Amino acid sequence: MTTEPRSSLEIERKYDVEAATAVPDWSTLPGVASVGEPEPRELDARYLDTADGRLAEALTALRRRTGGPDAGWHVKRSTPEGKLETHWPLDDADESAPVEVPEAIIAELAEVAQPPFEVIARIRNSRTAFALLDAEGGMVAEFVDDRVTATDERSGRTTSWREWELELGPAAPSTAAGVAELFAAADELVASVGGAPAASESKLGRALGR
């Protein structure tokens, strides 16, 4: 793997919703003028860690995901500002073969964990994404409606649920006050249709019962 990785900071809000919960009108959020057409995505991710959970201990997640516009390898680190994600393109591995972590990613993780890495969870997600746009067509945020099936590979336990995510985009508010106002309005909108802030910080955490 020779392509240089790219990094981005994800600032998002996650919500737990029931299977039949109606999607609210996101165009009522501050700064949002319109909602783009739904974009379906079928995502399949395998998450890895060491046998003794060194990555989890370092608040870091490693996954290889197929499907969607950001298919590839991802290292996600939790920070006070949000989740710092570093992304590499997919390798040419046989999808039916055991997952092997590329050397570039092993080097990236060297300060917190050493191989061998093993698959700890598989998360499959039928996602529908919507761009929330301002009056000039800039993306204020992306809303995704996720229907998730996850398997804890160590215990064999499989769970399914539905959740929503709202992730800030390039045209999001530029101040902390503006971001807080946007997310507060989103919280109210989700509550109005029966949803609530997610009980688990991540899909991986929920898959593993954390």
Map tokens 């006070």 to a residue: 80
2 pLDDT above the threshold of 60: no
How many angstroms separate the CA atoms of 83 and 76, rounded?
6
| pLDDT of 94 | 62
Tell me the per-residue pLDDT of 27-54, one tens digit each, with 9 for 90 and over: 999 999 999 999 999 999 999 999 999 9
> By the 8 A CB rule, do 69 and 93 touch?
no
Mean pLDDT of 157-171: 98
Tell me the per-residue pLDDT of 82-122, one tens digit each, with 9 for 90 and over: 999 999 998 776 666 788 999 999 999 999 999 999 999 99
> By the 8 A CB rule, do 148 and 160 touch?
yes
* Amino acid letter, 109: L
Q: Domains (ranges, CATH) in the chain? A: 6-207 (2.40.320.10)
What DSSP string describes 7-74?
Answer: EEEE-EEEEEE-TTPPP--GGGSTT--EEPPPEEEEEEEEEEE-TT-HHHHTTEEEEEEESSTT-EEE
Residue 55: pLDDT band by 50, 70, 90 thresholds? Answer: very high
Mean pLDDT of 138-161: 98
**pTM given for the model:** 0.93
Using DSSP's 3-state secondary structure scheme, residue 95 falls into coil
187 pLDDT above the threshold of 80: yes
